[in-house]
Chain A
């Protein structure tokens, strides 16, 4: 046993020295390889991170959201639906929600305006924990996200105005700011009272944007959703598991599609590796011949080559994964984010949570190191069977 281990260690030692002797060639191959791995890994990390972020955000989302559809577009929904939903067995509460986007022409930013009565939301009584100041209660009062507060340049003032659709001014009063640790969700948010939001968006008093249905037992979500779509035809009923699964499918599909595109890069690299490994220089041939004269067997030389490939590919894999980590979590996946999220010009800020699982690393290993090893084994054998006399002569 000891002897076997010692043999492998000696081979490893020799392989490292041999890689170092041809450092220019090997470093060149390794950096190209690391680049390819970085591309593949970036997609994988980005997918994992976006999926995790989406799941995190959805964890506290209402179980069912009911939206009114008209001619395939979402519309305001009459509050009269409320009573028929509350009667359903298993429904805990129904909270009407008014929300929309407000485009600020001065800064070019998009604010999210949201209004729900905290008294009808489960855990609504804990909302104040996220706010410095008060919750909105009077007419025109609002809590601002830190991004919005900075964008409005209030400079100590508490009152500001927003434009209604008919360009008249809607006076608002800032009564609080969301705490900085909720930035991920609230940076672009204006949280106000339902009346103020209706006034701002010119939504009739007996209408809202959608209804959030909270269900007591998560196993009943599907059944209740079905009942709602029977009671209220013409509405769109979205369940939380549906949304979560859709995110996964979409992200998975997009990353799969992107990986297929990257396969060509990988294939090109594998051909390069094959080519590099096949074209032996006279010096390399002489080295193998000398080793054979010294008593090395074909198997030993194959093993040596295998070690060399494994070290080169393993290092490139480490390098590529590290680069991908930096790219995705420091630079926000700048290169590929549009592919994964869509092409919309204005997007809510999204800071990616670092999520790297062992399974992902193994996956990247399979996609990169395995083809490299496979591409170099046959050339390595060709080199290993060089008859010593032919090479030394």
Chain B
């Protein structure tokens, strides 16, 4: 289905991102071959200025990736209107074997590009640019990843035909029964919610300990790993809980479970807020682990420590906003009652 303005915009976005990151990767290749901090010849000077270009290009690439993730979900939602059986983005994504993988790759992309930018920011805080090699090897890995992203997306668009019959979200995310093959609802709802809120509480406590608990210095590495892995785990837990439990309260329909419909204007775009805070929080939360991995170099200790404080503060604030946004409809239902 290339003859739709949405497919065009997605393809366009993908092509531009690929071009920008390819140019950055070319710089990366040159840097890997010729970088010599001790030298002051013109090649080294031009390479130093090229790293600026590379970082700007990857920044653009990240912005494009976030934009294309949003665009991809909105496009899938639009496609659902012309695909038989689809009623929201779920239907279009399931209509083609490449739909869901594209979404996962795009989601992972936000984290991968973000980590690169983090490395870059830490690197330029130190005079000797200690991370140049790691940074540009990483950049060269990003290129095939982006290529996979664009390829999957193109295959998805090419495979979509208005005459395929697909399932809508009411079938895909329906309550697990003896004959339905989905993974939602392994645990009873009450237990899931309890685990969810305990996880939020736990993350907040670890974060606060890391920020203000001077006496836990000895366990810092342990706490950082707990915080990082905790955010990763929480990211997937939250997605499951939103889909299986919270979305019903937002739609005010006990049988409507869908992670995509909450993005629609009918629900005041609350989904955008929920996902933005969740992805943002998960990124900053888990990035302190990545920063800690490289923070062992003596010259990087200070910038990494400074970054850790900022990142924990940001992730905790995002966690708070996320908790409010995601619990609002549920609490409203508990206290005020149904619509």
> B4 — which chain A residues lie within 8 A by C-beta?
252-253, 255-256
How many Å lie between the Cα of A249 and that of B78 in the bound state? 11
In the complex, which residue of chain A has the Cβ closest to the Cβ of B3? A256
B13 touches A370 (CB 8 A): yes
In the complex, which residue of chain B has the Cβ closest to the Cβ of A374? B16
> Which among B67, B68, B84 is the interface contact of A245 at CB below 8 angstroms?
B84
> Which among A245, A252, A255, A298 is the interface contact of B49 at CB below 8 angstroms?
A298
> B70 — which chain A residues lie within 8 A by C-beta?
362
> A378 — which chain B residues lie within 8 A by C-beta?
23, 53
B6 touches A363 (CB 8 A): yes
B20 contacts the other chain (CB 8 A): yes
A286 contacts the other chain (CB 8 A): no
How many Å lie between the Cα of A98 and that of B60 in the bound state? 61
How many Å lie between the Cα of A363 and that of B3 in the bound state? 15
How many Å lie between the Cα of A381 and that of B8 in the bound state? 28
B56 touches A257 (CB 8 A): no
A259 contacts the other chain (CB 8 A): yes
> A373 — which chain B residues lie within 8 A by C-beta?
60
A366 touches B56 (CB 8 A): no
B20 touches A259 (CB 8 A): no
How many Å lie between the Cα of A14 and that of B162 in the bound state? 50
B74 to chain A, nearest CB (A): 5
B325 contacts the other chain (CB 8 A): no
A203 contacts the other chain (CB 8 A): no
Q: A245-B84, A252-B4, A259-B5 are in contact. Are A370 and B52 (CB under 8 A)?
A: no
B52 touches A299 (CB 8 A): yes
A381 touches B5 (CB 8 A): no
**Chain A 377-388 interface mask (CB, 8 Å, partner B; 1/0):** 110010011000
For the residues of B in contact with A, the DSSP-based class is helix
A263 contacts the other chain (CB 8 A): yes
In the complex, which residue of chain B has the Cβ closest to the Cβ of A47? B5
A377 touches B56 (CB 8 A): yes
How many Å lie between the Cα of A306 and that of B55 in the bound state? 13
For residues 264 through 284 of chain A, which have their beta carbon under 8 Å from a beta carbon of chain B? none
> Which among B9, B20, B68, B269 is the interface contact of A377 at CB below 8 angstroms?
B20
A172 contacts the other chain (CB 8 A): no
B170 contacts the other chain (CB 8 A): no
> Which among B12, B20, B52, B162 is the interface contact of A298 at CB below 8 angstroms?
B52
In the complex, which residue of chain B has the Cβ closest to the Cβ of A242? B84
Most buried by A among B8, B60, B124: B8
In the complex, which residue of chain A has the Cβ closest to the Cβ of B84? A245
> Which among A256, A374, A384 is the interface contact of B5 at CB below 8 angstroms?
A256
In the complex, which residue of chain A has the Cβ closest to the Cβ of B52? A298
For residues 358 through 382 of chain A, which have their beta carbon under 8 Å from a beta carbon of chain B? 358-359, 362-363, 366-367, 370-371, 373-374, 377-378, 381
> A44 — which chain B residues lie within 8 A by C-beta?
5
**Interface size of A as a range:** 20 to 34
B84 touches A359 (CB 8 A): no
A381 touches B52 (CB 8 A): yes
For residues 144 through 160 of chain A, which have their beta carbon under 8 Å from a beta carbon of chain B? none
Most buried by A among B7, B9, B49, B71: B9
> Which among B3, B9, B84 is the interface contact of A257 at CB below 8 angstroms?
B3
For residues 70 through 106 of chain B, which have their beta carbon under 8 Å from a beta carbon of chain A? 70-71, 74, 77-78, 81-82, 84
> B12 — which chain A residues lie within 8 A by C-beta?
366-367, 370-371
**Chain A 294-308 interface mask (CB, 8 Å, partner B; 1/0):** 000011001000100
How many Å lie between the Cα of A253 and that of B4 in the bound state? 6
B214 contacts the other chain (CB 8 A): no
How many Å lie between the Cα of A363 and that of B79 in the bound state? 14
A97 contacts the other chain (CB 8 A): no
A184 to chain B, nearest CB (A): 23
A357 contacts the other chain (CB 8 A): yes
B16 touches A256 (CB 8 A): no
How many Å lie between the Cα of A43 and that of B20 in the bound state? 29
B16 touches A370 (CB 8 A): yes
> A331 — which chain B residues lie within 8 A by C-beta?
none
B77 to chain A, nearest CB (A): 8
A374 touches B60 (CB 8 A): yes
> Which among A248, A255, A371, A381 is the interface contact of B16 at CB below 8 angstroms?
A371
B13 touches A366 (CB 8 A): yes
A341 contacts the other chain (CB 8 A): no
B236 contacts the other chain (CB 8 A): no
A374 touches B9 (CB 8 A): no
B64 touches A370 (CB 8 A): yes
B19 contacts the other chain (CB 8 A): yes
How many Å lie between the Cα of A299 and that of B53 in the bound state? 9
B150 contacts the other chain (CB 8 A): no
How many Å lie between the Cα of A253 and that of B56 in the bound state? 36
A335 contacts the other chain (CB 8 A): no
A260 contacts the other chain (CB 8 A): yes
> Which among B2, B20, B23, B269 is the interface contact of A358 at CB below 8 angstroms?
B269
> B82 — which chain A residues lie within 8 A by C-beta?
245, 248-249, 252
B57 touches A377 (CB 8 A): yes
How many Å lie between the Cα of A357 and that of B23 in the bound state? 35
> Which among A263, A359, A377, A385 is the interface contact of B8 at CB below 8 angstroms?
A263
What are 14 A-B contacts defined by CB distance under 8 Å?
A248-B81, A253-B4, A256-B3, A256-B8, A357-B265, A359-B74, A366-B67, A367-B12, A370-B13, A370-B67, A371-B16, A373-B60, A374-B20, A377-B57
Q: A299-B124, A359-B74, A381-B52 are in contact. List 11 more A-B contacts (CB 8 A).
A: A252-B82, A253-B3, A298-B49, A357-B265, A358-B265, A362-B71, A363-B5, A367-B5, A367-B12, A378-B53, A381-B56
